[in-house]
Amino acid sequence: MTKYYRLYAGRVAATTEKSEAQIIVLTSPDQEEMLNIIKEYQLDEHTFISTFDADELARVESEDEHFAIICKCPKNYTAHAQFQFRISSFGIFLFNNLVIVTTDSHHLPLADEKRFSRINSLKMFALKLINHSIIHFNEHLRVVNKMSDEFEQRLVYKTIRGEYLSAFGLSKSLVYYINAIASNGTLLQKLQITQSLGLSEIEREFLDDIIIENTQCRRQAEIYSNILLSMMTAHENIVSNDLNTMLKVLNVITIGIMVPTFVVSAASMNVNYPIDMESGWAFWAIMLVMVLSTIAFILMQKKLKW
């Protein structure tokens, strides 16, 4: 899908005329659309295809007539994701009078006046896109933190295999998020030192703010990842301790049963039943020893705190 936009009064406005377009957004283009764009604007085919690769690292490349920027962003979360947050990439091809944006299924809220306002140049628009990606990461991190708190509350009372696997999925997602945010940080540093980009003073100040936001976003992701890992480790230790306590109780019960059983087994096989008046005392003596041995075991267990 191809959409056309232009800058109007500091905002991004949609247009149907390609000749008026200053911004071209390609969302999940087919093979024909990709080939036409590559041929028309003389784009590097490898770089263009890399913008749709989720495993591609964020980077900036300087071409003859444009800059190619690949930035990382989170995919929109759906209920079918099973508590796993995915990473995607989008591309920005920055010309002097045109910006081409490529994305797979990532929704760009260009009509949002809060995020895409006070845009006086195409370079500022490109920086706003990168800033939107960082904001999107922060929004997902807040959701991940809430999910982590819910898992913690449920895991306190009972162990559910599905809940534990979901927490593991969140932990895995945070690792990918940290890697993607760090990759964006490298991209931003490269933009900061690239003199040929020709950023104005206002644009450089905004780029500095983006770098600070990205650094804070990365630290927040690392904190959430450490908290989630600590929670899972603590829960594993609690489950292990509960299991050891249960085995200890079962062992004590087993030994307690074996003590009187040993006494009875050792002596009672050679003694007649109590109805035999001549040897009836032997049965009761064995029973008395069994009771005394059981009491002695209980006292010893309490003293040693088994």
- DSSP one-letter code for 158: -
- Would you list the DSSP string of 195-218? GGG---HHHHHHHHHHHHHHHHHH
pLDDT value at residue 242: 77
Pairing state between β 99-103 and 23-27? parallel
How far, CA to CA in Å, does 212 sit from each of 74, 184, 189?
19, 12, 11
pLDDT digit string, tens, across residues 114-145: 778 888 889 999 999 999 999 999 988 888 88
Give me the tens of pLDDT residue by residue for the chain, a chain 306 residues long: 888 888 888 888 888 888 888 888 888 888 888 888 888 888 888 888 888 888 888 988 888 888 899 999 988 766 555 667 888 888 999 998 899 999 887 677 777 777 788 888 899 999 999 999 999 999 888 888 888 877 777 766 555 666 667 777 788 888 999 999 999 999 999 988 888 888 889 989 999 999 999 999 999 999 988 888 887 777 777 777 878 888 887 877 777 777 777 766 666 565 555 545 455 566 677 677 778 777 877 777 777 666
Of 103, 34, 36, 91, which Cα lies nearest the Cα of 61? 91
Of 176, 147, 173, 171, which Cα lies nearest the Cα of 230? 171
Q: What count of residues does the chain have?
A: 306
Measured in whole angstroms, how far is the alpha carbon of residue 261 from the centre of its chain? 56
The answer to whether residues 75 and 105 touch, using CB atoms and an 8 Å cutoff, is yes
Q: Return mean pLDDT, the chain.
A: 81
pLDDT digit string, tens, across residues 169-219: 788 888 999 999 999 999 999 988 888 888 889 989 999 999 999 999 999
Return contacts of 192-200, CB within 8 angstroms, 24+ apart. Answer: 194/60, 194/62, 196/62, 197/67, 197/123, 198/123, 199/123, 200/121, 200/123
Structure tokens at 35: 């080939």
The answer to whether residues 3 and 16 touch, using CB atoms and an 8 Å cutoff, is no
Exposure of 268 by Cβ count < 10 A (0-12 exposed, 13-18 middle, 19+ buried)? middle
Look up the pTM and report it: 0.76
